Amino acid sequence: MGCCASSLIEEAPHEEEKEQQQTTQKTLSHQFTPPPSSGLDPPTNGASFFSEFSFSYLKAATNNFSSDNIVSESGEKAPNIVYKGRLQNRQWIAVKKFTKMAWPDPKQFKEEACGVGKLRHNRLANLIGYCCDGDERLLVAEYMPNDTLAKHLFHFPTVQVAASLGDFSDSIGENQTIEWAMRLRVAFYIAEALDYCHAEDHSLYHDLNAYRVLFDEHGDPCLSCFGLMKNSRDGKSYSTNLAYMPPEYIKNERVTPESVIYSFGTVLLDLLSGKHIPPSHALDMIQGKNIDLLMDSHLEGNFSTEEATVVFGLASQCLQYEPRERPSTKDIVAMLAPLQTKPDIPSHVMLQILKNDGAPSTPRRPLSPMGEACSRTDLTAIHQILVTMHYRDDEGTNELSFQEWTQQMRDMLEARKRGDFAFRDKDFKTAIDCYSQFIDGGTMVSPTVFARRSLCYLFSDQPDAALLDAMQAQCVYPDWPIAFYMQSVALAKLNMHKDAADMLNEAAGFEKKRQQGGKGS
C-alpha cells in the first residue's frame, strides 16, 4: 500500500536538507501510488502535504471501505460516508466517499479540492488529498479521534477509566458533559477557524453545525474541512430542517458569508443549551430575558452569568434576520477572546478524555537483539547489527545477466562500496552521499542500502528522511523485518511513540515468521 511520501515532514527543511529530501521523495514516487506532493507550499504547523490518491490505495487504507471503519454520524445511511483509514506511514485519515456521480465534472472536483487543500491551520481538520478515479470522488482529511461536538454535547457517556491510568484513576463522574470554559474554547477556536478561512478567501462554509466540529488527539476543537467544499450535484448546502436554515437560504438556496455567521449562531445555541433549539424559539427567549431557561441544566452553578449573557448576546447578533446586521468573523473572535479564562489548562483535561502522552507500550512479542536495540532507540547497537548483517538479505532483489554489468553499474557498485566503508567507520555524511549516488543510479535496488542510509539520517538528526528510506526498504522487500524496525526507530524520533510501538511489534512478527521457515535471518 502506498502513501504520500512527504506526509510526515513536520517542518519546512533547511536549504541543505531540501535537496536530499527532494531526491528521496523522487525515488519514492516511482514506488508509491500517490505522488509525493502536488506542488503546494509546505505547511508551517506540521500538517500534511496535499496529494492525489488512487482509488485502489484508499480502498486498501480503509480495509476495502469496511463498515467497521465508518465514522459518519449517520453510518451507512449517510449519502456521503466518511471512513477511517490508515496510511502506510501509520497516519490515520478520514476518507469521505461521495455517492456515484455526486461530482460529474472531475475538473471542478479537482479544482475545489485543491483550493481547500491549500488551507493549513491548527483550528482545521485539514484536507490532505483527494481521489478522482473514473466516477469515484473522495476527499482525504486528517483524522480527528475524539468524536464530534454533537456527540459530546448531546450523547455524552458516563466516563469510566481504569485505575492503572494514574490521575484519571477513578470514575470521573456520571453523565459527564462539557464544562463551561471548554464550551467557550470551542466557540473561540471555531470562530478563529472561520476567520482564517475568510482571510484566505474561503468564507463560504456549508452546513455548519455541531457535527462539523471535531476534536483532535489533544482534545482541541477543529472545524471539518469537508464543509468548505462547494455544493455537489446531489448534495445540499444544509442537511438540517427549515427551522435551522438561514432565512435568505430558504429564499434563494445560496450560501453567503452571512449565512455562515447565522449557522455559527446556531452552534452557539447548542453550546449554551446543550440541546438543538430552533433559532426563532431561542431568540424569543433571549429577548424575553429567559436566559436561565435556555442554559444547559448540567451547568447549573458552574458557569458565569456575565459570560453567558455575553455569549447569548453574540448568538442573538449572529441570528439576526437581516444578513447585514450580523457580525463579521473578526468581530466574533474579538468578542470571544476575553472569555478564555483557562488558557493554560489542556483541552483533553477540560473535555475529560484520556490523552495518549506517547509512552511506548511494551510489544506483545519477544524481541531479537535488533528489536531490543530499536526499542531502546540505541543507534550504536543498530549500527553494529547492520554492519554484521552486511547484504545477506539482498539476495534475489537484483538478479542481473552478464550483459547487464555495464560501466554504469560498476560505478554504482563502487559508490556503494565507498558508502559501506564510510558506514563502517561511522562517517555518516559521506555514507549518505555515496548511498544516494547508488540509489540515484536507478538500475539496482537494495533494501539494505535504504536501511543503512536510514540509520545515517537518524545519526544526522533527520528522522523524517530516515522514515522515508525505511518505507522505501519495505517497498523493495515488503516482509523484511529490518524495514519495519527502522521505521519504528524513526517514528520514535518523530515522537510518534504509539505508532513506533505498533511498528516494532509488527517487525517482531515478521521476524518470527522468518525463523519458522521464511527467508534466512
Residues taking part in catalysis:
207
Distances (CA, A) of 277 to 187, 248, 287, 307: 17, 19, 15, 20
130, containing H or E segment: strand 127-131
Transcribe 218-244 into DSSP letters: TS-EEEEGGGGSPPPTT--S--S-GGG
- 3-state SS, residue 131: strand
Q: Which amino acid is at 253?
A: E
Q: Which three cell numbers stand for residue 91?
A: 497516519
Give CA angle at 218 (213, 223), nearest 5°: 20
- CA 131 → CA 84, 92, 100, 262, distances in Å? 15, 17, 13, 32
What's the rounded Cα separation, in Å, for the pair 388 and 224?
50
Max Cα-Cα span within the chain? 92
From the list 113, 114, 111, 117, the residue with the least C-alpha distance to 98 is: 113
- CA-CA-CA-CA torsion for 432, 438, 442, 444, nearest 10 degrees? -120
Nearest to 264 by CA among 220, 217, 206: 206
Cα–Cα distances (Å) from 242 to 145, 248, 251, 475, in that order, read 31, 11, 11, 52
Q: How far is CA 71 from the centre of its chain?
A: 15
Buried b (16+ CB within 10 A) or exposed e, 496-515: bbbbbbbbbbbbbebbeeee
Contact by Cβ (8 Å): 361, 230: no
